[in-house]
Amino acid sequence: MSQPDVVDSVAALRARIRDWRRDGLRVAMVPTMGALHEGHLSLIRIACEKAERCVVSIFVNPTQFAPSEDLDKYPRQLTRDLDMLATVKADLAFTPTVGAMYPAGFATKISVGGPSAGLESDFRPTFFEGVATVVAKLFLQATPDYAVFGEKDYQQLCVVRQLCHDLDLPVEIIGAPTIRDAHGLAMSSRNAYLDEAELAVARQLNVILRKAAAALASGAHRDDATAEARRALTAAGFQKVDYVEARESLTLAPWRRDRAGRLLAAAWLGKTRLIDNVEVSTG
């Protein structure tokens, strides 16, 4: 397959989508920050099944990084990304510049409540404002019928659903399962920061979460299971555990046994922060 066409202006994106719509074609969007891996490709495959046309945005969104975070060193590799997109059926890559997305004088922020409370927000207080604002912009620019987001960033998926529901954005959000390496490590662009020793520790994150989810499923108390998981993460070599929490899958309220649950965690390995989550199945 050949590389997708690339547009970097909102006007060119809109023109292309207008042509598709004129031909009666539906559009699915996959927002990404690039440094693509199999996880991203899996979302694009789902998008291509849902709609006749698929647009992938590649934009490292500065407003979702705090000043102390890794914006400058976040991997940027557009040529390689376009080669990867050639292996799936993406029709168009949208690669706006920071100036195009946030021209001088830009002064709007979207703040989503509900599922954005706690978890990531306790440690990255401006993160979801950045995400919600850029996702709203992308949706207004591309007006997709569908958009696919990974369960890997589970809280983000919930926040995006809330955003679209509350603002009546006419897009159906599709959640896609987390793609993992052979050892269970969730694929992430940030895994590129890890050396061999750190990778071995990183692979324990999912093992420990699955064990805690199994303990919850077989009756362990919520706070005992999460405290044990925190201890296990530290013992495995994570230097700092930001959180391990059991939440309700839909609302992200604290988990109650009679509700579908999700166990979510964030922990640090050196300068790299990893997140992961697993389902808590109670029968």
- Site residues (vs ligand AMP, CB under 6 A): 32-33, 39-40, 42-43, 149-150, 152-153, 176, 178-179, 186-189
The token pair at 147 is: 């958009």
**Which of helix, strand or coil describes residue 253?**
coil
Q: Dihedral (C-alpha) 264, 177, 116, 281: value to the nearest 10 degrees?
A: -50
Residue 170 vs 177, nearer CB to ligand AMP? 177
Q: How far is the CB of 230 from ligand AMP (least distance, A)?
A: 23
Is 40 noted as a catalytic residue in this protein?
Answer: yes
Q: Which of 143, 118, 274 is nearest to 207 (CA)?
A: 274
Tell me the Cα Rg of the chain: 19
SS3 for 211?
helix
Whole-angstrom Cα distance, residue 189 to residue 37? Answer: 7
Minimum Å gap between C-beta 152 and ligand AMP is 4
User: Whose Cβ is closer to ligand AMP: residue 131's or residue 232's?
Assistant: 131
Residue 152 near residue 188, CB atoms below 8 Å = yes
Active-site option among 37, 40, 165, 183: 40
Q: Rounded CA gap, 92 and 112, in Å?
A: 29
Give least dist CB 282 to ligand AMP, A: 24
Q: To the nearest whole angstrom, how small is the minimum distance from the Cβ of residue 153 to ligand AMP?
A: 4
CB of 132 to ligand AMP, least distance (A): 13
Residue indicated by tokens 């109650």: 256
In one-letter notation, the amino acid at residue 80 is R
Residue whose CB is less far from ligand AMP, 139 or 215: 139
**256: phi > 0 → left, psi -120 to 50 → alpha, else beta; which?**
beta
Distance CA(42)–CA(234), nearest Å, equals: 31
Shorter beta-carbon distance to ligand AMP: residue 35 or 246: 35
Cβ proximity to ligand AMP, 118 vs 175, nearer residue: 175
**93 bridge partner residues:** 6, 56
Enzyme catalytic residues = 40
